[in-house]
Structure 1
């Protein structure tokens, strides 16, 4: 299922403001790639271009290419909604639908895409998705209870189950552990390591140790100053970024000298 992502000369705009400039990056299938960098450097904005989520902001646009196994996600006639079924998103704060049961939360994306599904197929999909999110054993006896009644860490794994239920090829995660306690964070990190066997995973994180623990490759973004565009400074194997970066700004950031 997982797909390769190739980004060529991507510029991201909000109106006339150039938010992210000149990104070139190749992300391998069935891998975890981490985006790191100081706040405001464009890493989340860039992440959101990978499934056209940034377009929900009025005036947002891009120039350049985002290729999913060679198919341009910004090509003529490409439907953004279809893109988002192929490239799922998990947000910074867990956002289960509060009035929906655990079961209905998992199926929400499937129903949103107007996919007809039998009751037995729906039950099988709910179980498969919750197992994939390492949540089944914790919630199997209360599937009809509200998703909002779960702990923060469980809610985030429920959101991951919701994302994988539509069978995407890529899963994007925008600081998925920033609102979680250490034990819940560990559970999500373990899950990320398992997800890469089926999906291409891209994660934005401010946690250096997390990037080192979960990713094979790391991309460091930076910004020259207020009002300047964010840029991809260095992209390499995670061990290289943390132990032997080729750019001084990368070394300064990962060693804690700034940011």
Structure 2
């Protein structure tokens, strides 16, 4: 399932405003890639362009190329809904559907796509996804309880289960642990390490220690000033970014001199 992403001179616009400029990078399959950088530098905007989620805002567009295993996801013939099925996203705050049970939350992607599945197929999907999110043992006896009845960390893992239920190729995570306590954060980080065995995983994080712990490669984004576009300053193996970066701005950021 896991697929490689290639961005070539990708620019992301909101109307006439250039938000992210000239990103060229390869995101490896079956690996965790972290995006770091100060607030407003374009890392989340770039991530949202990876599954065309930014297009929900009027006037949003891109130029350049974004390839998923060699297929251009911005080709006019490509349906954005199909892209978002292949490239799932987990948001900063856990967002289970409040009126749905745990089971219904996991199956939400199938329901929204109008897919018809039998009861036994649904049972298998729910168990597979919840096991994949390391949540099955905690909730197997209360699948009909509301998703909102779970703790914050469990809700985030439920959202991850909802994402992997539809078998995407890529999982995007926008600061998935920012609202969680340390124990729940550790559970999600352990899960990320397991997910990369089957998926391409991309995370945005402001936590330098988290990026160093969970990612194989790290991209540092920065911005020259208010109103300027965000740019990818440096992209390399995580150990290199944190221990021997090429760019002075990268070293200043990861060492805590700014950001």
- Check whether TM > 0.5: yes
Offset, 1:114: 1.5
1:195 aligned residue: 195
The aligned runs of 1:86-165 (5 Å cut-off) are 86-165=86-165
Offset, 1:116: 1.1
Distance in 2 (CA, whole Å) between partners of 1:255 and 1:107 is 43
Distance in 2 (CA, whole Å) between partners of 1:247 and 1:159 is 36
Normalising by structure 2, report the TM-score. Answer: 1.00
Offset, 1:115: 1.4
1:144-187 Cα shifts (integer Å, max 9, x gaps):
00000000000000000000000000000000000000000000
1:68 corresponds to 2:51: no
Distance in 2 (CA, whole Å) between partners of 1:159 and 1:19 is 28
Distance in 1 (CA, whole Å) between partners of 2:205 and 2:117 is 36
2:25 aligned residue: 25
1:49-68 Cα shifts (integer Å, max 9, x gaps):
00000000111000011100
Distance in 2 (CA, whole Å) between partners of 1:86 and 1:65 is 17
The aligned runs of 1:20-59 (5 Å cut-off) are 20-59=20-59
Secondary structure, counterpart of 2:107 in structure 1:
helix
2:220 aligned residue: 220
1:206-252 Cα shifts (integer Å, max 9, x gaps):
00000000000000000000000000000000000000000000000
Secondary structure, counterpart of 2:142 in structure 1:
coil
Distance in 2 (CA, whole Å) between partners of 1:110 and 1:215 is 30
Runs of 5+ consecutive residues of structure 2 not aligned to the other structure: none
Secondary structure, counterpart of 1:253 in structure 2:
helix
What is the total number of aligned residue pairs between the two structures?
Answer: 259
Offset, 1:77: 1.0
1:207 aligned residue: 207
Distance in 1 (CA, whole Å) between partners of 2:76 and 2:19 is 23
Note the aligned Cα RMSD (angstroms): 0.4
Secondary structure, counterpart of 1:2 in structure 2:
coil
Distance in 2 (CA, whole Å) between partners of 1:9 and 1:254 is 25
Secondary structure, counterpart of 1:180 in structure 2:
coil
Offset, 1:113: 1.3
Offset, 1:200: 0.1
Normalising by structure 1, report the TM-score. Answer: 1.00
Secondary structure, counterpart of 2:63 in structure 1:
strand
